[in-house]
Structure 1
């Protein structure tokens, strides 16, 4: 018999009503038209732009994939911790870091909701692919985590599926559980409403289709820069 006695019990029960993604299989098969697979060694344009304009000492990336943003940060003298749920992605990230001679980065395959990061503070937190895959109950917990590990005046860079584009469809929170979504898109208004509870909105705009030998950006994503309020 199963009983709900704690908030963790409740979250675990709600997790069962979502499909999730098998990320190890995703990175092994590599059969999805995801730009972050195709451009797996190029950082996001917004990360490059941000580092050019800010003096950041340390950073944390959630959903780091094969390390493209974290390696870029490390090569720009930023002490970086990077996490992903996929062991395969992390192994690839470690190999890419060695090949790039990026020494100031630590990669770990971890579930962020099982991590104990409460004693750490970062100047910058980056999410280039987790938030739009989280179930609604986990989004609230995730917002708490990001807020708690950011230093005062720290920044949060978020890239997520934009409503009306090819990444995913906009689905309200009740429908998410009924249809067992694995990813959803957001409107600009919804992003401001949700993240504005904890953060000041520095920038929020639709990306453009940009690729060169240094970085990339896609029109199916919203690019968001928030500052701890």
Structure 2
């Protein structure tokens, strides 16, 4: 699709953001309001891929930024593994929960409630940026901005770890339908080819694989409707 054919062509970023922001504010705070809901990633377990990368030494302790940190499960795992961790999440309820969980776990994590686009992130200051489900909630017109933000946050040679919806895990909406309906429908699914196309301009893709299914209540979180991706700046 050519640039002038994008469904968001000719409209400002602020105008396009406004199509989703109000709904996101309410939706995410309501989503995290009830901590007892049977949501798979409401548990304390870190992503299986992240745990594997840390435990096999692929990711060595350093300064880490967890984007879309939710209830803090991955940020807390990283902190307990020796990383200096900051987390950012859109939902005030999620951040409150994450701070409580970090205190209970004795983990030192600095959590901020904000859109990732509203936070001043010092350039080239992180060894690891981790994203567990943030990217697939980006409206299409924000994809390039988000990729640039992640790349800009990392030091040369820094790592990006990510999980996001496979096609069967997402809403099934096309970019055009996102703007027609003014919703992401719970998140967008990506093919492996599309993920590589989007991220390979700023990163060297080390690997993309299907997330391994993990039993509920086990030591790690894993759902097969997600991709995991590891990339290096």
TM-score normalized with structure 1 length: 0.88
CA distance in structure 1 between the aligned counterparts of 2:64 and 2:145, rounded to whole angstroms? 20
1:81-133 CA distance string (max 9 Å, x none): 00101111111111101111112x11111111011113451110011011111
Aligned length: 215
Instruction: Name the CA shift for 1:96/1:125 in 2 (closer, same or farther; >3 Å).
Output: same
SS in 1 for 2:224: coil
- Residue of structure 1 aligned with 2:96, choices 69, 74, 91: 91
Any residues of structure 2 matched to 1:2-21 within 5 Å, and which? 10-18=12-20, 20-21=23-24
- Structure 1 residues 154-163 or 208-217, which shifts more? 208-217
Structure 1 gaps of 5+ residues are: 1-8
Matched ranges for 1:113-152 at <5 A: 113-119=117-123, 121-152=125-156
Aligned-residue offset at 1:30:
5.2
Cα distance, 1:191–1:199 mapped onto 2, change above 3 Å: same
In structure 1, distance between residues paired with 2:100 and 2:171: 34
Aligned with residue 44 of structure 1, among 44, 47, 51:
47
Asked whether the equivalents of residues 170 and 186 of structure 1 are also in contact (C-alpha less than 8 Å), the reply is no
Q: Which runs of 5+ in 2 are unaligned?
A: 1-10
Q: Which residue of 2 aligns with 1:174?
A: 176
Q: Which residue pairs with 1:79 in the alignment?
A: 84
Q: Distance in 2 between matches of 1:121 and 1:170?
A: 36
8 Å CA contact retained: 2:208, 2:229: yes
1:107 and 1:140 map into 2 onto residues whose CA distance is: 25
Q: Which residue of 1 aligns with 2:6?
A: none
In structure 1, distance between residues paired with 2:210 and 2:68:
20
| More off after superposition, 105-114 vs 12-21 | 12-21
